[in-house]
């Protein structure tokens, strides 16, 4: 079955720095999604990334803080900029349809970010 590879799997970062998270899919997909999962919480959609266009951000998330790239149909990056401890979360990429059309999301294994 298709695979999503996400890296890094975890990182500890200093306040004020930025971290770029990579998501690689082994098949072409139209839409890629980035989620945040704060400790002990549910999943919140950050943005939707389509190849060849700017990402669409959900309420509460802005491009300056979470710039996203989608250079082709198998790859995307999410950058967490100017980090603060409140950004400590698990960040997940996901795609639709890897299990067949209409079968919902497949998630990467996540990036556990700790900001100190």
In the complex, what is the shortest distance from the CB of residue 60 to another protein, in angstroms, rounded to a whole number? 13
Which is nearer to another protein, 31 or 73 (by Cβ)? Answer: 31
Which is nearer to another protein, 75 or 105 (by Cβ)? Answer: 105
Beta sheet of 4-7, edge-to-edge order? 4-7, 19-25, 75-80, 68-72
**Residue ranges in contact with another protein by CB under 8 A:** 4, 6, 31, 41-45, 48, 92, 94, 96-97, 99, 101-110, 112
Quick one: which of 102, 2, 111 has its CA closest to 46?
111
């Amino acid at each position: 079955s298709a695979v999503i590879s996400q890296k890094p799997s975890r990182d500890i970062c200093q306040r004020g720095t930025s971290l770029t998270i990579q998501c690689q899919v082994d098949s072409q997909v139209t839409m890629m999604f980035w989620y945040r999962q704060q400790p002990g919480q549910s999943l919140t959609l950050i943005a939707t990334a389509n190849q060849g266009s700017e990402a669409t951000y959900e309420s509460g998330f802005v491009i300056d803080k979470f710039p996203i790239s989608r250079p082709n149909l198998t790859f995307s990056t999410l950058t967490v900029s100017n980090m603060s401890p409140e950004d400590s979360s698990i960040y997940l990429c996901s795609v639709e349809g890897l299990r067949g059309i209409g079968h919902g999301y497949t998630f990467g294994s996540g990036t556990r970010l700790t900001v100190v």
